Amino acid sequence: MLKKERQAYILRQVSLHNSVLSADLSAEIQVSEDTIRRDLNELAEEGKVIKVHGGALSKSFNSFYLRSDVFHGEQKKIIGQKAISLLKDGMFVLSGGGTTVIETARMLPETLLATFLTGSIPAAYEYAQHPNSEVIFIGDKISKKSQIAVGGEAISKIKSVKADICIMGINAMDIENGITDNDWDVVILKKAMLEASNLKVVLSISEKLNSVQRIKICGLNQIDILITELDKDDPILAPYRDSGITIL
Amino acid sequence: MLKKERQAYILRQVSLHNSVLSADLSAEIQVSEDTIRRDLNELAEEGKVIKVHGGALSKSFNSFYLRSDVFHGEQKKIIGQKAISLLKDGMFVLSGGGTTVIETARMLPETLLATFLTGSIPAAYEYAQHPNSEVIFIGDKISKKSQIAVGGEAISKIKSVKADICIMGINAMDIENGITDNDWDVVILKKAMLEASNLKVVLSISEKLNSVQRIKICGLNQIDILITELDKDDPILAPYRDSGITIL
DNA sequence: CTAAAAACCGCAAAAAGTTGCAATTTTTCT
DNA sequence: AGAAAAATTGCAACTTTTTGCGGTTTTTAG
């Protein structure tokens, strides 16, 4: 096998798998790892791959996760749009504090006249920017991790209300375990929020679906509506629809 | 799995869930926790995540408020420095929400170990950034004008505590009328704050001195300490010193 | 205050990389 | 064609990086 051929093969593998191991290539093409390394170094010098210890990465690999923030931003805007369609004038809304919820808060139509109840500092801040809606903050000790009021006072306050709708971002959710999280205080709070609301709406980018974390918040049967950035007929969502949740 | 891949995976998880546990990652990627820790440390050094005991946090999550440089920033920093000298470990601090107070909050020494009680969203946010202090938010309806919780609940909550010190920005103050403001809700709140504290400290840039607004909060005799950006012997401050206030 | 979890430290083994060199192949030039 | 030059390749010795592990210290939470 010629050098050029070999390098072409390597490039194909890289673009195919996003990453290659020197050892693998060596075995596949039956040349020494030294040769592979020299090839990878050349390709790296030509800027065709990114050389790392143990192999090489595709050039597009870098921007892949650097861009993810913006990328997620777009997804969250789609989710926000759908969520807003659920809000009507006069509603009493219990709101969580994740980035998805905050994105939604920024998109509220100016004309909406609702009351928002939240324990999240960033969410309260966003809602407070809105010209017509009213904001009630549930005070208590602030958890630094999540910028959310946690503790008995907040819980009992939430339990004393009955909201029309609860809009909540989540960290992880799957068919078996329902909605899960890894922060005890947050779990307690979210449980209380769900109990205090008539309509229970969960916002989540699809990437968070089918993942699990330590502590259970509730089963899927507790949830009324699931909003993701996907089309409501997307096959990923099918099992959730089957378990009785309305998909938006 | 290559090191870079692994770190990319970690970054993805962080941006997805806002926080990760070393133990979880270790189990997911099938490497030792030491390796995860080393990765997290590297990512933290590169400024991509925030390392904490047990895992790491997303960096972007904490940056909702873009630092809007306030008017008279330099003057307020001088005031902040002076105010900080009053704070000692273990203190229970009742804090207002003006820009001056927020500037002070940003300058708190990392070692300070105090508890802050506030009804201001921006102030709570700043205090929550501090590594060692505890933050308690006084929840209630949020006044949009001032981003502060106002209302009966907040008032009664404040009245139920006794703070060591009250740090409060003001809108107007003069010899004759004392401290005045033009927002009824804020006035009520500030009155309650002053009553609930032992040491009453007022922060104000000199521009606000010798001006009056509609509603009276309290007379000068209620105030213990006045902090401005001026030297404490400045003639502008003389009448206030004469009326019994300590000038810093 | 105490026990458990996490972080740190140093070490050693394994994996990957580097370098120099000799053997082989390819290219070039007459 | 055939010899010299150049490029390529594999190998061996050595260096560097990465990783996991045991023991100790620090931090956290009850």
Per-residue model confidence as pLDDT tens digits over A165-201: 999 999 889 999 999 988 888 888 899 999 999 999 9
Select the more confidently predicted residue: B144 or B192: B192
CATH number of the domain within which A90 lies: 3.40.50.10470
Residue B47 to residues A126, A216, B43, B59, Cα–Cα distance (Å): 26, 32, 6, 8
Q: What is the least distance, in Å, from the CA of B52 to any CA of chain A?
A: 10
Lowest mean pLDDT among A6-15, B61-70, B84-93, B126-135: B61-70
> Given A50, A65, A80, which residue is the final one in a domain?
A65
In total, chain B counts a number of residues equal to: 248
Count of A-B CB contacts under 8 Å: 122
Q: How confident is the model at residue B17, as a pLDDT? A: 83
> B1 pLDDT exceeds 90?
no
B15 in contact with chain A, both atoms CB, cutoff 8 A: yes
Q: Please list, in sequence order, all residues whose beta carbon lies within 8 angstroms of the beta carbon of residue B248, skipping any fewer than 6 positions away.
A: B82, B83, B85, B86, B225, B226, B227, B232
Same domain, A169 and A46: no
B25: left (phi over 0), alpha (psi -120 to 50) or beta: alpha
Same domain, B134 and B153: yes
Same domain, A217 and A181: yes
d(CA B199, CA B224): 6
The answer to whether residue B23 sits within a structural domain is yes
Structure tokens at A102: 């905050």
d(CA B61, CA A189): 19
The answer to whether residue B67 sits within a structural domain is no
Share of chain B above pLDDT 90, in %: 30
Are B110 and B131 contacting, i.e. CB atoms less than 8 angstroms apart?
yes
Distance between terminal CA atoms of chain A?
54
d(CA A196, CA B54): 32
Estimate to the nearest angstrom the gap between the alpha carbon of B65 and the chain centroid: 13
Are A181 and A205 contacting, i.e. CB atoms less than 8 angstroms apart?
no
A156-164 mean pLDDT: 90
Q: Which domain holds residue A36?
A: 3-65
d(CA B243, CA A90): 51
A153-163 mean pLDDT: 88
> Given B62, B83, B107, which residue is the final one in a domain?
B62
CATH number of the domain within which A11 lies: 1.10.10.10
Chain B positions touching A172 (Cβ under 8 A) are 17
Same domain, A42 and A146: no
Q: How confident is the model at residue B232, as a pLDDT? A: 82
B152-157 mean pLDDT: 87
Footprint of strand C on the protein (CB under 7 A): A 21-23, 33-34, 37, 41, 51-55; B 21-23, 33-34, 37, 41, 51-55
Same domain, B79 and B111: yes
Same domain, B236 and B159: yes
Q: How confident is the model at residue B203, as a pLDDT? A: 93
Q: Looking at B37-177, which runs of residues are DSSP E strands?
A: 49-52, 55-58, 92-95, 115-118, 134-137, 141-143, 148-150, 163-169, 172-174
Q: How far is the CA of A22 from the C1' of D5 (A)?
A: 31
pLDDT per residue as tens digits for the range A32-61? 889 999 999 998 888 889 899 999 998 877
> A1 pLDDT exceeds 80?
no
> A96 pLDDT exceeds 80?
yes
Are B58 and B15 contacting, i.e. CB atoms less than 8 angstroms apart?
yes
pLDDT per residue as tens digits for the range B193-218? 999 999 999 999 888 889 999 899 99
Chain B positions touching A154 (Cβ under 8 A) are 139
What phi and psi values does residue A216 have, to the nearest 5 degrees? -90, 135
Residue A55 to residues A40, A72, B12, B30, B42, Cα–Cα distance (Å): 8, 29, 21, 19, 20
Same domain, B48 and B167: no
Q: How confident is the model at residue B61, as a pLDDT? A: 61
Nearest by CB: A139 against B134, B138, B147? B138
Chain B positions touching A215 (Cβ under 8 A) are none
> B121 pLDDT exceeds 80?
yes
Q: How confident is the model at residue B36, as a pLDDT? A: 94
Are B248 and B220 contacting, i.e. CB atoms less than 8 angstroms apart?
no
A 133-192 → B contacts, CB under 8 A: 134-142, 144-147, 149, 154, 157, 171-172, 182-183
- DSSP state for residue B120 in the 8-state scheme: B
pLDDT band at A62 (very low <50, low <70, confident <90, very high): low
Nearest by CB: B149 against A72, A127, A139? A139
pLDDT per residue as tens digits for the range B48-102? 888 999 999 887 665 554 445 556 667 888 888 889 989 888 888 999 888 888 8
Same domain, B20 and B128: no
In chain B, the number of structural domains is 2
Helical packing angle, A68-84 and B3-17, nearest 10°: 20
CB contact under 8 A, A125 and B125: yes
Structure tokens at B67: 């630092």
Same domain, A241 and A132: yes
Structure tokens at A180: 């899960």
Strand-by-strand arrangement of the A178-181 sheet: A172-174, A178-181, A215-218
Chain B residue at shortest CA distance from A106: B64
d(CA B70, CA B244): 31
d(CA A144, CA B232): 37
Same domain, B192 and B158: yes
Same domain, A13 and A133: no
Whole-number average pLDDT of chain A: 88
Same domain, B13 and B95: no
Are B118 and B137 contacting, i.e. CB atoms less than 8 angstroms apart?
yes
Q: With CA atoms as reference, report the closest residue to B179 among B169, B167, B193.
A: B169
A14 in contact with chain B, both atoms CB, cutoff 8 A: no
> Given B36, B62, B88, which residue is the final one in a domain?
B62
Distance between terminal CA atoms of chain B?
60
Place of tokens 């990114």: A50
The answer to whether residue B68 sits within a structural domain is no
Q: How confident is the model at residue B60, as a pLDDT? A: 66
Q: How confident is the model at residue A67, as a pLDDT? A: 56
Select the more confidently predicted residue: B117 or B62: B117
Q: How confident is the model at residue A142, as a pLDDT? A: 86
